[in-house]
Amino acid sequence: MSHPEKEAVARGVEFITIDLESSGQRLDNFLLRRFSNVPKSRIYRAVRGGEVRINKGRVAAKYKLCEGDLLRIPPLKVQLEEPPKRVANHWLTLIEQSVIFEDDDLLVLNKPTGLAVHGGSGLNYGLIEVLRQLRPEARRLELVHRLDRDTSGCIMIAKKSSALRHLHAALRERKITKRYQALVYGKWPRNRRQVDAPLKKFALGSGERIVRVNEEGQGSVTEFSVLERFQNATLVEARPLTGRTHQIRVHASHIGHCLLGDDKYAHAEANTLAAQLNLGRLFLHAESLEFTAPSGQRIKVAAPLDDALRQVLDRCAGRA
């Protein structure tokens, strides 16, 4: 018996008039987002071969759509998808209570630890799938940036394509200020206020992906400041000026002060201390965001540490 997700059905020729909300996007990005269940190779082949047309003419994949453009899409075979996995009520309730800012363009949530930002790699669903189930009328919800599964705190979700483009541009131009709180092993040096070290991704033999400081990597800069000192650990504020995968974790580890609870980059002594503190997760929290919203409003939002992380700090300080 064949599996539904392996079957395919052909769509006929479609004509779409580009609206204001979709204008400004690259053609390939528009098609990939709209036809997520069509193989990427098929979409690019259709564009290169002239099957996809704008106003009856051939265009390149990087063509920027304009309001009023008439887009012709050829017959495509789409993979039939299984019905979305039902999200546990626990996550639905928690995420509904986690919204800390919302307007017509975007949402900012205090993401709980333990929830990936999207499904895949063995996960039935993540934050974006939870939100889409909570807000079925919001058809264009997209992640503006990412947080690791174990990282909690502020995360932005765009509700419109135009908002996504605005916020991505702000990220590229470093106009969004992100501040994190992290508990690191040992005594952070008083004169260490910045780590400037290029980062590169590697795949281990097991298939696990890891990030390391490497001269061939991408330029990466993180600013650090001390918030509170303890006997064997330091609570620091980390402000990433670039947005590389695992940037804060790898930069802290690079100078000998790995994050407590880090299952990828922490050494044995840090793991022992984390166990003594009864820390069962990565101590990294996206504490605040400051940016100009697509509406022009200047926004600053903050998310407090959860009770579990506060209790860890109390144990560090001998308050518990």
Q: Are residues 248 and 310 in the same domain?
A: yes
Tell me, yes or no, whether 182 lies in a domain. Answer: yes
The two structure tokens encoding residue 161: 């394509």
Same domain, 204 and 237: yes
Query: Smallest Cα–Cα separation from 200: which of 187, 219, 226?
Result: 219
| 222/283 same-domain check | yes
Q: Count of domains in the chain? A: 3
In the listed set 166, 190, 218, which residue is the last one of a domain according to the structure? 166
Residues whose CB falls within 8 Å of the CB of residue 156, separated by 6 or more in sequence, listed in order: 106, 107, 108, 143, 144, 145, 167, 289
CB-CB contact of 87 with 129 (8 Å):
yes
Take residue 59 and report the two structure tokens written for it.
Answer: 């265009």
Judgement on whether residues 189 and 235 belong to the same structural domain of the protein: yes
Same domain, residue pair 178 and 312: yes
Domain, as residue range, for 185: 174-316
Query: C-alpha 298: how far from its chain's center?
Result: 22
Q: Backbone phi, then psi, for 118, in 5-degree steps?
A: -150, 160
Same domain, residue pair 107 and 219:
no
pTM assigned to the model: 0.77
Q: Of 109, 134, 166, which marks where a domain is finished?
A: 166
**Please, where are the H alpha helices in 49-151?**
89-96, 127-134
Q: Are residues 135 and 246 both part of a single domain?
A: no
The CATH number of the domain holding residue 9 is 3.10.290.10
The predicted structure's pLDDT at residue 80: 52
Query: What is the enclosing helix (H) or strand (E) of 43?
Result: helix 40-48
Indicate if 111 and 146 belong to the same structural domain: yes
Query: Nearest Cα to 221, choosing from 238, 196, 244?
Result: 196
Tell me the Ramachandran region of residue 157: left when phi exceeds 0, alpha when psi lies from -120 to 50, beta otherwise: beta
d(CA 205, CA 179): 34
- Chain segment 155-188, per-residue pLDDT in tens: 999 998 889 989 999 999 999 999 999 999 999 9
| Contacts for 106 with CB less than 8 Å, ≥ 6 apart | 144, 156, 157, 158, 159, 163, 167, 293, 294
User: According to the model, what pLDDT value does residue 20 have?
Assistant: 80
205 and 251 together in one domain: yes
Q: What is the DSSP string of 177-189?
A: EEEEEEEEES---
Angstrom CA distances, 151 to 8, 155, 239, stand at 38, 10, 15
Last residue of a domain, one of 143, 166, 189: 166
Q: Tell me what pLDDT residue 206 has.
A: 77
Determine, yes or no, domain membership for 186: yes
Looking at the fold, whether 209 and 256 belong to one and the same domain comes out as yes
The reply to whether 123 falls in a domain is yes
Residue 272 lies in a domain: yes
Structural domain contains residue 58: yes
Q: Are residues 185 and 301 in the same domain?
A: yes
What pLDDT does residue 309 have?
Answer: 96
Looking at the domain assignment, is residue 84 inside a domain? no
pLDDT at 128: 86
CATH code, 296:
3.30.2350.10
- 181: phi then psi, degrees, rounded to nearest 5: -110, 135
* Positions of the chain with pLDDT lower than 50, given as ranges: 1-6
Q: Give catalytic residues, as residue numbers.
A: 148
Contact (Cβ atoms closer than 8 angstroms) between residue 140 and residue 150: no
In a domain, 102, yes or no: yes
Amino acid letter, 174: R
pLDDT at 25: 84
Question: Are 108 and 181 part of one and the same domain?
Answer: no
Those residues with Cβ within 8 angstroms of residue 33's Cβ, 6 or more apart along the chain or in another chain: none
- Could you give the CA distance from residue 250 to residue 197 in angstroms, rounded to a whole number? 9
